[in-house]
Structure formats: structure tokens, C-alpha cells
Amino acid sequence: MKQQSKVQTLIHGMGEKKSLRRFKAIFETMEGIIFGTSIVSPGAPHIKDHIEIKRYMSFAIIGLLPAAVVAVYYYGLYALAIIMTSYVAGGIVEVSFAILRDREIEEGFLVTGLIFALVLPPTLPLWAVAIGSVFGTFFGKEIFGGTGRNIFNPALVGRLFITIAFPQLMSVSWKEPFADVITSATPLGVFQISGTLTPYRELLLGMHAGSMGEVFSIGIIAGGIFLMLSKVSNWRIPVSFLGTVFIFSFIGNTFSPSIAPPVFSILTGGLLFGAMFMATDPVTGPTTKTGKYIYGFGCGLITFLIRNFAGYTEGVMFSIIFMNGLNPLIDHFVLKTIYRNNKI
């Protein structure tokens, strides 16, 4: 191979060495990240688009950055520690599986690791973060075969696990930005107990208790729109998800004041974050356009029902996981309907 630098030859050579043969996947990943690919197209089409998964996932991370940076600003270095713990714990699982399968480390993990950290309460003990991250990566993704083959959103699988395993931790670890006091009430909780609405300004800026990445609504909206404009995420799911919650809340609130009003519903809890960054995960969502609307509608409906009529204060996580499971079925029926007239 021509045009290879010494460093590349070195890294490539390391992977080929007998003693390091076991870690070949890691060296290949390093080579891939630093130098790109040396493969050329085998035939027509002779050229290829420059988008690839590393770029794609990097953009997802850029979209998450406003929420992540503000989380660290609001909750201090402990938020950073949570993010790092999530990455390291999940990373160990990811790398072990890469070595085990002798395949390159998959990029999807970079997004999962960050999303998982951002949906956690800001005072969750680090050991719980680690357990959730390991569980999510292992059972949410690796057992299905890695990024692109998983059925459920791995970050949500991890969060669901710690919600069920450590309910105490997950319900009393809330904290308002810059505060030292631990509270147990998020705006949704406050509304359900006393019917008090947190002012929209505070909801937009995130000056209230909540999961650390989910409070800063402005940043989430900006990041979400950025992803849609760059075509990394599809607008159909967030629009139908948020739209459904809005419409149901509007109708519900008109008839019964115990149901949260529409704008409040959208700005509280994990709804914006979930709609912008988790429901839009292309791997675990439907592939057909109609399917995307149905999926978003389902997510919205379940979120609305759980929030207003069930024991849990927040329903976004459950709704997305539930719809993840339904999505092959949605696609199947959409395809059968679209193509019902095609002769066989």
C-alpha cells in the first residue's frame, strides 16, 4: 500500500503481531479513526458519499453538547464525573465485545454513553451509573449483535434497569441547579401533588429539578433542530411525538384541570430530550415514513397516559421502550399496506 505513513504502518503492524493478535480489533479501530479507510469502491458507483458512521455519530454528539455542557455548568464537576463513569463502564463492555468478536469498536457507543448519563438524576451515586451503563450496553445492545442490530435503545434499557433496581435512588436524587439541597420534586411531580405550574421561563432555562441533561429546554431544542437540519435525525418522529402530547394535553386540560396543560407538558420531564434524541434513534425506530408518524404518535399517547393516569410521574422512557418493541410490527403492517396492491 502506498502513501502510508510510518505511524500507520506501525499501528497496522501492531494489530498483525502474534502476541497482540487478540487486540487486533482495537488497533484496527485506531487506524480507522486516525487515518480513515484505504479501501476503494469495487466498481460502479465509483464514488461514495463522504458521510460515514463516525461523522454521523459525531453529529449526534454535537447535537447533545448544549444539554451536556449546561448540565456540567449547572450541576458542577459531579455531572462530568457521571458522564465519564458512563463512558468508561459502557466502554469496557463495548471494547471487550469488540475483542471477543474480533470486529472494530462500533461508534454508536459514543452517543449511547452520553445519552445515558444525561437522563440520570444529577446526584446519582457513581456505582449506580456504572451498573446502569454496563447493563444498558450489554443487554440493550451487545447481546443483539451491536449497533445497528439492537431492538431497544441501550441508554433507555440501562435507565429502566436502575429505575426498577434502585427506585429509591432514582426518585430522591433530584436537585435544582447550583443548589446543594436534594429535593424530591420535579416540576411534573410538583404539578401532580399540588397542581402548581412552574413558570415557563424557568422551564426553558432549566432552573428546576430534573435529570441533568433534560432540564435546559432551549439547548435541547437547538440541538434537536441542528440534528434535523443536518439530516442526521428525521423530523417526523419529534414532530408527531411532541404534537400528539400537545394535542392530547390541550384537549385534556380543557376538560379537566388535573391534566397538565400542553406547553407545560412539552417543557417538563424528559419529553423534549426523549423526542429529540432518543425516539429519533434510527436503529430502534421504524424505517418507513408512515411508520415514523405512527411511532411518534404511539410514544406521545403512552407518555400522556402514564403521566396523567398512572403511578409514575414520567412516562417518556416507558413509551419509547414500548414503541421500540412495537416498531418491527409497525413497519411490517405499513409495508403490507403500502404494497397490498402489488402483484406477486
Residues binding other proteins (CB under 8 A):
1-5, 8, 32-56, 58-59, 104, 106-107, 145-149, 229-232, 234, 282-283, 285, 287-289, 331, 335, 339, 342, 344
The number of residues in the chain equals 344
Which DSSP symbol is given to 269?
A: T
Q: 123 or 290, CB closer to other proteins?
A: 290
For the bound state, the minimum distance from the C-beta of residue 25 to other proteins, rounded and expressed in Å, comes to: 12
Q: 18 or 336, CB closer to other proteins?
A: 336
For the bound state, the minimum distance from the C-beta of residue 339 to other proteins, rounded and expressed in Å, comes to: 5
Q: 255 or 339, CB closer to other proteins?
A: 339
For the bound state, the minimum distance from the C-beta of residue 332 to other proteins, rounded and expressed in Å, comes to: 10
For the bound state, the minimum distance from the C-beta of residue 46 to other proteins, rounded and expressed in Å, comes to: 5
For the bound state, the minimum distance from the C-beta of residue 131 to other proteins, rounded and expressed in Å, comes to: 27
Q: Are 53 and 96 in contact (CB under 8 A)?
A: no
Q: 204 or 222, CB closer to other proteins?
A: 222
Which cell numbers hold the place of 135? 447493563
* Conformation bin of residue 123: beta by default, left when phi > 0, alpha when psi is -120 to 50: alpha
For the bound state, the minimum distance from the C-beta of residue 214 to other proteins, rounded and expressed in Å, comes to: 25
Residue environment code for 94-109, b if the CB has 16+ CB neighbours within 10 A, otherwise e: bbebbeeeeebbbbbb
Q: Are 134 and 113 in contact (CB under 8 A)?
A: no
For the bound state, the minimum distance from the C-beta of residue 293 to other proteins, rounded and expressed in Å, comes to: 14
Q: Are 298 and 323 in contact (CB under 8 A)?
A: yes
Q: 147 or 268, CB closer to other proteins?
A: 147
Element (H, E) at 232: none
Q: 47 or 181, CB closer to other proteins?
A: 47
Provide φ and ψ at 4, rounded to 5°: -100, 135
Which cell numbers hold the place of 314? 414520567
Which cell numbers hold the place of 170? 432514582
Q: Are 146 and 106 in contact (CB under 8 A)?
A: yes
Rg of the chain over all Cα atoms, to the nearest angstrom: 22
* Conformation bin of residue 145: beta by default, left when phi > 0, alpha when psi is -120 to 50: left
Which cell numbers hold the place of 38? 484505504
**Beta-bridge partner residues of 299:** none
For the bound state, the minimum distance from the C-beta of residue 286 to other proteins, rounded and expressed in Å, comes to: 8
Q: 23 or 235, CB closer to other proteins?
A: 235
For the bound state, the minimum distance from the C-beta of residue 39 to other proteins, rounded and expressed in Å, comes to: 5
Q: How far is CA 261 from the centre of its chain?
A: 26
Q: 71 or 227, CB closer to other proteins?
A: 227
Amino acid at 54: K
Which cell numbers hold the place of 116? 445515558
Q: 230 or 253, CB closer to other proteins?
A: 230
